[in-house]
Chains A and B, each alone.
Chain A
């Protein structure tokens, strides 16, 4: 009897192992923190509930370094990566990511509009990329810094006389050069035309130099809200989601300066030589359908990348705030999108020049 019990437990545990081996776990890589939390709530948990497929959430800090190392070594352990558009384009060109047929492989809108028409115009810039959210990099300022005076335009950031104090900027060339030109009077639509000339590049660096003494350079996205909160800086650039939580959740006395905001897109890319491509495509189809994208906006203030999700964006899940006015897409006309092709060509040179400029 005892022996039989032993055998049967053995058999059952073997069966358990076999069935565990059949169900695939997906290694999904994303940014961590509040952002991954919103994805867990909106995508991972419902998907596991629906299909039984387990999602291993892995955090990374962005960039293509790990991805390139994995694909060079031909040992790809990641099944799905959350990337910014610029990295998707670069990775797609270098063959790290798999091209996706939007209409065939992704879900159509509830009214039947094919995916390629339902995603916002200008978001499908890489064939390896399924957009999730629109976010923006924008300035926020301490509302109590200059008495009743409030900055309203990009030029105010570069105006040390009327708006004195430190500015917290990200330590890289991208965005800062564009903002310098905008503050110098270049219209939004002409920024890259000007930047493409040698005169324009000099002009941008010259304008940036006017505030260089008053800049605190940051490298991690969590820092600028802290700098403003500690009154170490009066202006700061940062991701709008972080500003949202500083203003609405932590009740910091900050306000947004939407003028000159840089709109950017974040989404999924599927590693080309991943081990579970078929499985992961099912997940991506689920996670980027209209309902799921609208759900995510309940947890974080980033705009869904589908037209059909827009009207479904409602109130924040815990704060109960109407999320509409906090979506960067609402102020799209005051902002612009990065010209990724230009940066892909000129990024190496501009970053070197920027680093040399910082050393001066």
Chain B
């Protein structure tokens, strides 16, 4: 959408106004996320820029809140918990979700749309309702305030993403490939690992990433199900925001932004690889 050479003054004005508007919206999207990064190095316990910071006085900056984060056992404990829960539920969700997606994309799957609807329901039901339901049920069977309970809950919340991403890669999947493999004498297991797996791998990995971030970022279910020992990073941030706002939260937030940048980069690489493998070149 470059400005055409025949554009009159009105069009030129509109062209720049439009670009300016878009720039404002992009700024709205990105500013809050970028602002917290310098703020987390503030030496003062404030949530805003001090005059020293604006003058780039090195004394106005410090790693104080990062030290605070590392030395606070509650925070380090929550980091450990978050990773344990997120990794365990990602593995479970990926295995269960990939299998189900393979089944769902078979042409002979009965009641396909109904089953699909039920399987992805954890994504649609508002979290507060899921959390309330799980709270009652899990405490009835003694799974509240346990790691297992939270891992199972997060697995349920994460599987829809795996199902959707893997099903999406299977839509473009050429079933004659697996038939060819069978004709050439491969058994189903070999076919799966040698033919199907490499093709759906990008979908599986991006589904796994979604499942990971779902668990890693989830707080409503944790609020209801977790005891003090199972507190995760978002849970700790939640009470940090409600109880005492200290810039330590900004330090944690900055670290989390870095993690999401890493995730984003991985996904982008996967997308490119997926397109290349299926012969769709970016146009």
| A–B contact (CB under 8 angstroms) | yes
- Contact between chains at B242 and A220 (CB < 8 Å): yes
Rounded to whole angstroms, the CA-CA distance of A329 and B144 in the bound complex is 39
Q: Is the CB of B242 within 8 A of A69?
A: no
| B136 in the interface (beta carbon within 8 A) | yes
Query: Does A279 lie at the interface of the complex (its beta carbon under 8 Å from any beta carbon of B)?
Result: no
Residues of chain B lying within 8 A (CB to CB) of residue A223? 242-244
The CA-CA distance from A295 to B216 in the complex, in Å, is 43
Q: For residue A72, which residues in chain B have a CB less than 8 angstroms away from its CB?
A: 139-140
Nearest residue, chain A, Cβ from B142: A75
Interface residues of B in 135-194 (CB under 8 A from A): 135-136, 139-142, 144-145
Bound together, the chains give a CA A77 to CA B229 distance in angstroms of: 14
Q: Which one, B136, B243, B244, contacts A69 given CB within 8 A?
A: B136
| Cβ-based interface call for A59 (8 A) | yes
Cβ-defined contact, A226 with B136, below 8 A: no
Residues of A within 8 A of B18 (CB): none
CB contacts (< 8 Å) of B145 on chain A: these are: 66, 77
Tell whether, in the assembled complex, residue B228 and residue A58 are in contact, meaning their CB atoms are under 8 Å apart: yes
In the complex, the chain B residue whose C-beta lies closest to that of A33 is: B243
B139 touches A73 (CB 8 A): yes
Q: Which B residues touch A73, using CB under 8 A?
A: 139-142
Q: Is B227 an interface residue (CB 8 A)?
A: yes
- Chain A residues positioned under 8 Å from B142 (CB to CB): 73, 75
Is the CB–CB distance between A69 and B228 below 8 Å? Answer: no
B139 touches A70 (CB 8 A): yes
Q: Which residues of B contact A226 (CB under 8 A)?
A: 244-245
Complex contact B227–A69 (CB within 8 A): no
A197 touches B (CB below 8 Å): no
CB distance from B225 to the nearest CB of A (A): 10
* A226→B242 CA distance, assembly (Å): 11
Contacts of A59 in B (CB 8 A): 228
CB within 8 Å of A: which of B225-249? 227-229, 242-245
Contact in complex: A58, B227 (CB < 8 Å): yes
In the bound complex, CA of A130 to CA of B141 (Å)? 31
Across the interface, name the chain B residue whose C-beta is closest to A222. Answer: B243
A60 at interface by CB-CB < 8 Å: yes
Please state if A220 and B243 are interface contacts (CB–CB under 8 Å): yes
- The CA of A270 and the CA of B72, in the complex, are separated in Å by 32
The tally of CB-CB contacts under 8 A between chains A and B is: 32
Mark contacts of A69-97 with chain B using CB atoms, 8 A cut-off: 1 yes-contact digit, 0 otherwise: 11011010100000000000000000000
Q: What number of A residues sit within 8 Å (CB to CB) of B?
A: 16
CA distance A32 to B228 in the complex (A): 10
Chain A residues within an 8 Å CB radius of B135: 69
A226 to B135, CA, bound (A): 33
Instruction: Take A69-B139, A70-B139 as given contacts and tell me if A222 and B244 are in contact as well, using a CB distance cutoff of 8 Å.
Output: yes
Rounded to whole angstroms, the CA-CA distance of A70 and B140 in the bound complex is 8
Residues on the B chain within 8 Å of A360, using CB: none
Cβ-neighbour of A219 out of B139, B144, B242 (below 8 A): B242
For A75, the chain B residues whose CB sits under 8 A away are: 139, 142
- B residues 256-280 touching A (CB-CB < 8 Å): none
Interface residues of A in 39-79 (CB under 8 A from B): 58-60, 66, 69-70, 72-73, 75, 77
- How far, in angstroms, from A35 to B141 measured CA to CA in the complex? 32
B42 to chain A, nearest CB (A): 16
Report chain B residues within 8 Å CB of A77. Answer: 145
Closest to B136 in A: A69
Complex Cα distance, B243 from A77, in Å, reads 27
* Neighbouring B residues of A220 by C-beta, 8 Å: 242-243
> Hey, which chain A residues are within 8 Å of B243, CB to CB?
220, 222-223
- Expressed in whole angstroms, the minimum distance between the Cβ of B36 and any Cβ of chain A is 19
Query: How far is A75 from B139 in the complex, measured between Cα atoms in Å?
Result: 8
Q: Which residues of B contact A32 (CB under 8 A)?
A: 228
Q: Which residues of A contact B229 (CB under 8 A)?
A: 58
Q: Which A residue sits closest to B244, measured CB to CB?
A: A222
CB distance from B135 to the nearest CB of A (A): 7
Tell me the residues in window 213-231 of chain A with beta carbons closer than 8 Å to chain B beta carbons: 219-220, 222-223, 226
Q: How far is the CB of A70 from chain B (nearest CB, A)?
A: 7
A109 to B52, CA, bound (A): 60
- Complexed CA–CA distance, A69 and B228 (Å): 16
Whole-angstrom distance between the Cβ of A39 and the nearest chain B Cβ: 15
Contacts of B245 in A (CB 8 A): 226
Please, how many angstroms separate the alpha-carbon atoms of A73 and B135 in the complex?
A: 11
Task: Tell me the bound Cα distance from A59 to B243 in angstroms.
Answer: 15
Please give 19 more A-B residue pairs, beta carbons under 8 A apart, in addition to A72-B139, A75-B142.
A32-B228, A58-B227, A58-B229, A60-B228, A66-B144, A66-B145, A69-B135, A69-B136, A69-B144, A70-B139, A73-B139, A73-B140, A73-B141, A73-B142, A219-B242, A220-B243, A223-B242, A226-B244, A226-B245
**The 3 residue pairs across chains A and B that have the minimum distance between CB atoms:** A69-B139, A222-B243, A75-B142
Provide a sorted-by-A list of 12 A–B residue pairs whose CB atoms are within 8 angstroms: A58-B227, A60-B228, A66-B145, A69-B135, A69-B136, A69-B144, A70-B139, A75-B139, A219-B242, A220-B242, A223-B242, A226-B245
